[in-house]
Amino acid sequence: MTRPRLNNVIGALESGRHVFASFAAPDPVSAVEFATTDYDALVFETEHKPWDVTALRDSLQYLLSRRLIHASDGLAPSVTPLVRIPANGGEKAQWHAKQVLDLGAYGVVWPHITTVDEARNAVAACRYPSLPGSLRHEPAGLRGDSPGAAARYWGLTNAEYYARSDVWPLDPDGEVLVALMIEDQRGIENLPGILDQVPGIGLILIGEGDLSQELGVPRQYEHPRVLDAKRRVLDVCGERGIAVGHPHVTADNVKQVLDDGYRFLMSAPVRTYPGLDLGRTLTGRTPGREGLQ
C-alpha cells in the first residue's frame, strides 16, 4: 500500500493535477489567514522580504490547521509550506536552504538560477549526503544534519524523517520539492542542459518580473518578447515532463495560463471591503483612494 503523501504539492504534480499557491511574507498573521484556505501551497517569501528565521519558524506553526489534519487520512498539512530563499543561484548560499528545511519546510524555491552548476548546488543543498552504494547519489547531498525540529513538524521520528526527506523526483518517495526560478535569457538558454544534467528538479517557476526587466519591457507580461521567452521555457519543460509555474495568475488570465500548460499557479488573494464600499457609495464618498493612484 502506498503511503499518503506528506507534501501535497508533490502528490498533485506526480498525479498530473494542477497546484494553486500564493506568496506571503513569513508572518504569523498571514499564515493564520492562509491556513484554512483552498490553496494547496504557500510560498513564504524571503527574497524580497526580510530574512527572519524566528518569524518563519512561527509562521510554519501557524500555517498548520490541526483540525484539518485530524480530518484527513494522514499527517500532511492542508496547505504545504515552501520557502523562497533570498540567495540568487550564483550566490550558492546553502545555509539558507539548510535552515528552512531544518524548520520543517517541504521545499525550497531558488531564485535566479542560470547555470547547470547553480542548479546542481540547489538540489545538493536540499539533500543529506547519500549512503554508500546508493543508486541515487547524484547530486551528492550537502545538507547538514539537524533533523529534530523538521521531524517534529512533519510528525515523524528522526529515522522516518531521514527516509522521507530526500528530493523528488530524484527519490520517488522523497517529500522535498526543489523549485528553480528561471528569470533571464541566460537561464532560458541553459535550461535544457539544467534539466538534462541535474536530476531532482521538481518544478520550474518563471520569474517574469525580472525577465521582463531584462527584455526592456518592465512588468509588461503580455509583451511579445516576454511571451516568447515564457513559451521557450514551457516547451523545454514540456518535452521533459517538468511542471512549470506562473507567478502572476489573476481572474483575467487564469484560463489562458491553464491553456498555455502551466501546472503551478500562483494567485494573490484579493481583499474586498463590501461594507465600506457600499457605505461610501451611499454617502457620496466615491471613488475613494483608488482615484488617487
pLDDT in tens, 118-149: 999 999 999 999 755 555 678 999 999 999 99
Q: Is position 245 within any domain?
A: yes
pTM given for the model: 0.93
What is the count of structural domains for the chain? 1
Angle at 128 between CA 125 and CA 133, to 5 degrees: 125
pLDDT tier at 288, thresholds 50, 70, 90: low
Residue 74 burial by CB count (10 A; 0-12/13-18/19+): exposed, middle or buried? Answer: exposed
Range of the domain at 247: 8-292
Average pLDDT over residues 226-243: 98
Report how far residue 211's alpha carbon sits from residue 155's, in angstroms, rounded to the nearest whole number: 39
- What local confidence, expressed as pLDDT, does residue 131 receive? 56
- Judged against a pLDDT cut of 90, whether residue 93 lies above it is answered with no
Residue 1 lies in a domain: no
Residue 2 lies in a domain: no
Residue 151 covered by a domain:
yes
In this predicted structure, the answer to whether residue 200 has a pLDDT above a threshold of 90 is yes
Is 36 domain-assigned?
A: yes
User: How much is the pLDDT for 120?
Assistant: 97
Residue 75: how many CB atoms within 10 A of its CB? 14
CATH of the domain at 19: 3.20.20.60
Q: What is the pLDDT of residues 240-275, one digit of tens each?
A: 999 999 999 999 999 999 999 999 999 999 888 899
Output the CA torsion sign for 121, 126, 132, 135.
Answer: negative
